[in-house]
Structure 1
Amino acid sequence: MNQVLPAKLVLASAIMFQSVLLLSQATADDTKMNVAPNHSFEDDLSGIKTNVCVFGGWFPIGVVTSDGGSEIKITEDVARAGGKSLQVVPNPGTLKGTIYYSQYNAGEEVRQNRTGAGVSGARTIAFRLDQDILSCDASVWIKKAANQEIALKAIWYTRRNRVPFIKIAEQKIDQPVESKDGWFKYSLHAVRCHTARQVQIVVETEDAEPFHIDDVEVYFNRSPHVDILVDQLGYETESDAKGIILQSSTPLDRPADSFSLINLANSKTVFTGRWRQLGYKRQWDLYHWQAEFSAFKTPGRYVVETVIGRAAYYSPPFEIGSDLLVSKTSELAYRFFYYQRCGTAVPSFHGACHLDDAKMPDGSHRDLSGGWHDAGDYNKYNGYTPESVYALVFAYDRRRDFFDKFDRDENGRADILDEAIWGAEFLEKCIDPESLDMIATISSGYGYWGRPEKETDNVAGTGDERSVRGDKTGGSACTPGLALLGKYVPKYLAVAERLYEKYGGNMQTILALHSATRKQVYRDAARKRAETLLPKDKKDTAGFRELAEYAIAFPDDPLVPAIKSIAKMRVQELGVICDNPFKITRRRDDDGGFIFFRHYRDVNNWYVGESRELLGTAYEGILLEKLGLKEGRRIAENQVHWILGRNPYGVSTMEGVGSIFVPCYHHRYNALPGNPRGAVPGAVLNGITRAWPDHDRPWLDMHPEPNPDYHSNEPWLPHNNRWLFLVAIW
């Protein structure tokens, strides 16, 4: 039986099932990171183009007025240690102005011209909580009137029945624990309610006197647990990237020393090795050790064991074998698209849905049924649908012998090719045959949450049809998929050539056309594009992927030596980018340093897609290997290891591959009978993302309530597209 939530992450302590308030002095820890947003208020973010977070993660409680009589602001007039503090100007009256409030998923919004109580204090963003967080310690220094009453609070929120931000408890302290030079320190130790998934730190008064907040400290405390993180699918027999990670949420009294590889067939130890200490990662609040067993190459099914003190810890099971990624994941990866089909019945999932798509902007009806639900919603977008067609046929074209084994409907054609045709038929409906413009979006928004066949009556002209947005796009994104599909269904080739004649295309497009036609004109176009992409600055690797695809397609071309030189630079770049304990790709921050997860200012900003980035890097790694650089294979495998379980949550983010998965998916299929998790076999999630705006800390929603965060827990077509690209060349 597959597990969906590791037992070690369940909040099992009895103390967790009550709201407990302990009065203590929260002190700075030399190792733990203070996660209070803008803790000394030295950052004034008022120049950022957003309607929220202009104080770096702090918000007023109550109505803000434009005359300054009810507000919060960063000021240089008063400060405790640095040069600034946060001034709160309370006003208990009934006022009109601006209200800042937390709403869906604790995202921040503002309302104008509403009557309500004036400002009473300030609060932080709502911190999303990992399942292993037991408590938080918070402290603030307050400059206030002598008799003014101030309260420091921790307010806990949960998600219930798809309502995502419900207050469930409040804990507070209203007496200072220390005073110095007119400043008063308030400290709070608050134990988490077991169902809480977010917490806000609040400073509030019932008085009308202004006060200042400075030098805020917030620390979260994890429950002790030790995890052995592995790729839960396994490791290729000849791989030299058989790395594993030991992770602890707290310091270990006795450090880890050695590990054993145990054969599950006979419970015998077949390999031993030693852990190498990596230390404490402050942003993540986790301790790591690293080891590897690349020298061991015997196929089988295994677990890793390590003994710390008197306790033995085990990894999830995994395989060592040849061609694992292709043989164990490829069918699931393309079947995902079948389960996402719109406009037809999908047995065991849903009935025929949205047969009445769609209403055009002018009110007329056009048959736009078919295609795929883009993600965990039922909308259809042609941002990635054309790429999906290309990914499906690209994988088939590269691995025909493998995919021809799968023909469930016995129509004499591989199922993956059937899926590509399903998508192409929808694109045909969306492309204007004269202008070659393409409809971009068919959508009813995100409000509906139920069975797809019940969203409309499936009858055109009755008024409940979904609408085509007014936005159109050129059909150029369809060219590579339709071109390569034209090798097997000739009618699509003519459309692809017309699209290329009008829009041109990148190397993928040109190579697809050449593969389908063998025309010299496309061979020449590919050569011309390669010449254009070769950098004038010899240190520039921006065009590497297209150049590599060209060199692999035409290995005897005179440009190949120059392309291989660029490949050597690219592998060095990726070596630096992936130089971290998990060996995964990172992105550049504004200051030029590396971060794991992209920045955002508000929790409901758009910052999804880490799996897409990882798989893009993996694809580049295999291209590098094919150009003779073995390190590329290690880079590729390490990206896959993260997705399939060697990550800080010990969870495979590809449903059905591995043994431990997220409890729930952000997918409307959780409204289908018998599928409360909303799981779709083969779905690759958006993946682990950033927990809080200004801390490069991982987040994956492991809470058991339905409707988890879409940023991390929603499947999306482009992730499976990139998985298929990868297995095609693996």
Structure 2
Amino acid sequence: MKIKYLLCSIFFITLLSFKAYKTENQQSWIRINLLGYPTSGLKVAVWASKENLSPSSFEIIEKLSGKVVYTSTNISSFGEYGPFNKTARLNFSEFKQKGEFMIRANGILSPLVIINDNVYEGAADFCLRYMRQQRSGFNPYLKDSCHTHDGFVLNGQKAGIKDSAHFDASGGWHDASDYLQYSTTSANATYHLLMAYRDFPQVFGDEKQANGLDGKNGKADVLDEAKWGLDWLIKMHPKKNIMFNQLADDRDHISMRIPKEDNQYGKGFERPLYFITGEPQQRGKFMNATTGTSSTAAKFSSAFNLGAFLFSKTDKAYAKQLAQKGETSYQFALIKPGVTQTASVKSPYIYAEDNWVDDMELAESARNFTKDKLNQKSINAALNFAEMEKTTPWMLKDTAAHYQYYPFINLGHYELAKQLKGTNKRKIEGYYKQGIEQVWTRAKENAFYRGVPFIWCSNNLTVAFAMQCGWYKNLTGDERFSELEQANFDWIFGCNPWGTSMVYGLPTWEDTPTDPHSAFTHLKNYPIDGGLVDGPVYTNIYKGLIGITLANDDEYAEFQSDLAVYHDDYGDYSTNEPTMDGTASLIYLLAAKEAQIRPKK
């Protein structure tokens, strides 16, 4: 037995040595989901080669024994993609053995392939670490407070508020690696966290107090985090005729620093609060394209109403307050139908949101969350809004402006469809299908099944699209897009041209971002566990951005192409900056994936 074990060990060491030897002049790679695969789930790796060759078969080798335990010819060959001349999909879904393995094709070995039904366990909670680290006010990671003096009002004349009047706006989350705080992204993130708890409560643990410090408090940590968002939204909508769209602006970008107190806005440590007027706003030399009050206010209303529903059994007073805010923010959304964009002072980059009827559809649907009996008037209104934007516009396009079609997925279709029956339900489900088919038209032409455009925050779109595929399947039972859904999920965790996970520290044993555009990592070497980075962008977009200079040699240079680039480099704010709202969406997706293979409590 000892001799047999020794021979197996030598064999496996030989395999690893072969892999190490090949990496010097390697021309072919096998890309996988580095996080792993459920035992009975879809399992596909992608062969990617700079040579003009594709494998005719592949093997799966057990890590412990070094034995070949599976051989297959289930290969779909494709042509060029990005830096590669030949690509192929290696489907091993029928392999259901649990354990740790490697895939071998044409002498090339994959990274470690993990197959079991625990591969997603704790992943959603892991990403909550980043949300807590993004907290403003009291920050549990730093065990310190910041931005406690916020903020002073701008553009509040319509509500009879003098500029520079003070309102308490401390709290919430920093938006990304800067310390701006946007109502639209915060409300969307809050909604996703609330949804995650509502739909998959069994996957979340209780290891933190409400303030984010260690200690159980009898509530799931995801609900604590969602409440942190709700509490800040209340401050941003303090009265029925007052709502703020953002806290601080791009003057924040003056330097990288650990959050403490910012004093670059001309009023001590206070930061500006931008009042929602429904009209274009200008600061400095840049004018946004605001047309109304609906997009932000409707997101507020939806989050408040979902929060009221979830807290109704545990904190009736808080639930009542949320329900009241849900109604007043809904009325604020009706003041002037249209979209509210963010404001910028020094640079042309804003969240250029251009659609709002999807937000109103969700708000109308969410008004029914706290009702004992569905209100048909709200359903009819939601149906009307759904008709106005059947498909989220980016799905029809190859490109879009930054955050132009936010939040990248029509959440209203999902919530509305669950309140419908018969023809109307099938109609809304069909709108999801139309969008998926548009992306599939592009995706089916390449081995990565990539149909999501490489615009800024492409990873956020990827997560949103995977969610839409999953919701469509749940609503209809139609599984024809399951492999497309899985491909988008796999992309986030390493089955992409660069072979890296796009989530900091997840998984811990493989390649993930280590040098993101973040003050926490750059200045203090603090890990930003769970943060989803922006993701690859079209090369022509990257070349046109202002102020990008890579700080180090490009470790992924051989995988860059005329199509798209990604850099794990502090100097690249376009592809490697983590975002709070993208991470919140990912938390929902990870919770859904874990729940699929985990029985309910």
TM-score of the superposed pair, with normalisation by structure 1: 0.59
In structure 2, which of residues 323, 328, 335 is the aligned counterpart of residue 498 of structure 1? 328
Q: Amino acid of the residue matched to residue 493 of structure 1?
A: A
Please give the secondary structure, in 2, of the residue aligned with 1:597: coil
Q: Amino acid of the residue matched to residue 87 of structure 2?
A: H
Counterpart-to-counterpart distance in 2, 1:619 and 1:269: 35
Change over 3 Å in CA distance of 1:546–1:632 after alignment to 2: farther
Task: Report percent identity of matched pairs.
Answer: 20
Counterpart-to-counterpart distance in 2, 1:350 and 1:223: 47
Change over 3 Å in CA distance of 1:445–1:453 after alignment to 2: closer
Change over 3 Å in CA distance of 1:649–1:270 after alignment to 2: same
For the Cα contact (< 8 Å) 2:504–2:529, is it kept in 1? yes
Shift of 1:423: 1.3
Please give the secondary structure, in 1, of the residue aligned with 2:524: coil
For the Cα contact (< 8 Å) 2:244–2:274, is it kept in 1? no
Change over 3 Å in CA distance of 1:350–1:258 after alignment to 2: farther
Q: Tell me, yes or no, if structure 1 residue 352 matches structure 2 residue 352.
A: no
For the Cα contact (< 8 Å) 1:399–1:728, is it kept in 2? yes
For the Cα contact (< 8 Å) 2:132–2:139, is it kept in 1? no
In structure 2, which of residues 534, 545, 548 is the aligned counterpart of residue 686 of structure 1? 534
Shift of 1:453: 2.0
Counterpart-to-counterpart distance in 1, 2:411 and 2:244: 27
Q: Amino acid of the residue matched to residue 317 of structure 1?
A: L
Counterpart-to-counterpart distance in 1, 2:328 and 2:489: 37
For the Cα contact (< 8 Å) 2:49–2:84, is it kept in 1? no
The residue aligned with 2:383 is 530
Counterpart-to-counterpart distance in 1, 2:484 and 2:425: 22
The residue aligned with 2:584 is 721
Q: Amino acid of the residue matched to residue 413 of structure 1?
A: K
The residue aligned with 2:372 is 518
Counterpart-to-counterpart distance in 2, 1:716 and 1:558: 39
Counterpart-to-counterpart distance in 1, 2:411 and 2:441: 18
Change over 3 Å in CA distance of 1:644–1:724 after alignment to 2: same
Please give the secondary structure, in 1, of the residue aligned with 2:418: helix
In structure 2, which of residues 419, 422, 425 is the aligned counterpart of residue 560 of structure 1? 425
Matched ranges for 1:325-724 at <5 A: 325=120, 327-347=121-141, 349=142, 351-361=144-154, 362-403=163-204, 405-407=206-208, 408-443=214-249, 444-453=251-260, 455=262, 463-469=268-274, 474=293, 475-487=297-309, 488=311, 489-490=318-319, 491-503=321-333, 506-521=360-375, 523-530=376-383, 533=386, 546-554=412-420, 556-564=421-429, 566=431, 569-586=434-451, 596-598=453-455, 608-626=456-474, 627-658=476-507, 659-675=510-526, 679-693=527-541, 696-703=562-569, 707-724=570-587
Please give the secondary structure, in 2, of the residue aligned with 1:271: strand
Could you give the per-residue CA deviations for residues 624-682 of structure 1, whole angstroms, max 9, x where no partner exists?
2111210232221110111100001000001222311133101111244343xxx4111
The structure number with the bigger radius of gyration is 1
Please give the secondary structure, in 1, of the residue aligned with 2:567: coil
Q: Amino acid of the residue matched to residue 653 of structure 1?
A: M
Please give the secondary structure, in 2, of the residue aligned with 1:386: helix
Could you give the per-residue CA deviations for residues 125-149 of structure 1, whole angstroms, max 9, x where no partner exists?
xxxxxxx9xxxxxxxxxxxxxxxxx
Counterpart-to-counterpart distance in 2, 1:609 and 1:536: 22
Change over 3 Å in CA distance of 1:652–1:565 after alignment to 2: closer
Q: Tell me, yes or no, if structure 1 residue 231 matches structure 2 residue 53.
A: no
For the Cα contact (< 8 Å) 1:275–1:289, is it kept in 2? no
Q: Amino acid of the residue matched to residue 587 of structure 2?
A: L
Please give the secondary structure, in 1, of the residue aligned with 2:30: strand
Change over 3 Å in CA distance of 1:656–1:616 after alignment to 2: same
Q: Amino acid of the residue matched to residue 243 of structure 2?
A: D
Please give the secondary structure, in 2, of the residue aligned with 1:631: coil
Shift of 1:354: 1.7
Shift of 1:713: 0.1
For the Cα contact (< 8 Å) 2:516–2:568, is it kept in 1? no
Counterpart-to-counterpart distance in 1, 2:417 and 2:246: 33
Which of the pair has the greater relative contact order for Cα pairs under 8 Å at 6+ separation? 2
For the Cα contact (< 8 Å) 2:136–2:147, is it kept in 1? yes
Change over 3 Å in CA distance of 1:266–1:8 after alignment to 2: closer
Counterpart-to-counterpart distance in 1, 2:111 and 2:324: 50
Could you give the per-residue CA deviations for residues 119-176 of structure 1, whole angstroms, max 9, x where no partner exists?
xxxxxxxxxxxxx9xxxxxxxxxxxxxxxxxxxxxxxxxxxxxxxxxxxxxxxxxxxx
TM-score of the superposed pair, with normalisation by structure 2: 0.71
Counterpart-to-counterpart distance in 2, 1:579 and 1:368: 47
Could you give the per-residue CA deviations for residues 223-266 of structure 1, whole angstroms, max 9, x where no partner exists?
644321001112232223x11112234556xx644322123344
In structure 2, which of residues 77, 80, 91 is the aligned counterpart of residue 292 of structure 1? 91
Counterpart-to-counterpart distance in 2, 1:387 and 1:727: 17
Q: Amino acid of the residue matched to residue 361 of structure 2?
A: M
Please give the secondary structure, in 2, of the residue aligned with 1:298: coil
Counterpart-to-counterpart distance in 2, 1:471 and 1:720: 26
The range that moved more, 709-718 or 664-673, is 664-673
Alignment RMSD (CA, Å): 3.6
Please give the secondary structure, in 2, of the residue aligned with 1:387: helix
For the Cα contact (< 8 Å) 1:251–1:287, is it kept in 2? yes
Matched ranges for 1:78-477 at <5 A: 224-240=26-42, 242-250=43-51, 256-274=55-73, 276=75, 278=77, 280-281=79-80, 283-308=82-107, 313-322=108-117, 324-325=119-120, 327-347=121-141, 349=142, 351-361=144-154, 362-403=163-204, 405-407=206-208, 408-443=214-249, 444-453=251-260, 455=262, 463-469=268-274, 474=293, 475-477=297-299
For the Cα contact (< 8 Å) 1:354–1:369, is it kept in 2? yes
For the Cα contact (< 8 Å) 2:367–2:378, is it kept in 1? no
Change over 3 Å in CA distance of 1:550–1:464 after alignment to 2: closer
For the Cα contact (< 8 Å) 1:223–1:249, is it kept in 2? no
Shift of 1:385: 0.7
Counterpart-to-counterpart distance in 2, 1:386 and 1:233: 29
Q: Amino acid of the residue matched to residue 485 of structure 1?
A: G
Counterpart-to-counterpart distance in 2, 1:565 and 1:243: 27
Could you give the per-residue CA deviations for residues 19-38 of structure 1, whole angstroms, max 9, x where no partner exists?
xxxxxxxxxxxxxxxxxxxx
Counterpart-to-counterpart distance in 2, 1:711 and 1:453: 25
Shift of 1:285: 4.8
For the Cα contact (< 8 Å) 1:617–1:636, is it kept in 2? yes
Change over 3 Å in CA distance of 1:472–1:371 after alignment to 2: farther
Q: Amino acid of the residue matched to residue 540 of structure 2?
A: W
The aligned length equals 479
Could you give the per-residue CA deviations for residues 591-616 of structure 1, whole angstroms, max 9, x where no partner exists?
xxxxx424xxxxxxxxx110121112
Please give the secondary structure, in 2, of the residue aligned with 1:640: helix
Shift of 1:578: 1.8
Shift of 1:526: 1.9
Change over 3 Å in CA distance of 1:724–1:279 after alignment to 2: closer
Change over 3 Å in CA distance of 1:537–1:285 after alignment to 2: closer
Counterpart-to-counterpart distance in 2, 1:423 and 1:392: 9
Shift of 1:557: 4.4
Could you give the per-residue CA deviations for residues 319-355 of structure 1, whole angstroms, max 9, x where no partner exists?
2233744x242112333211111111323x4632222
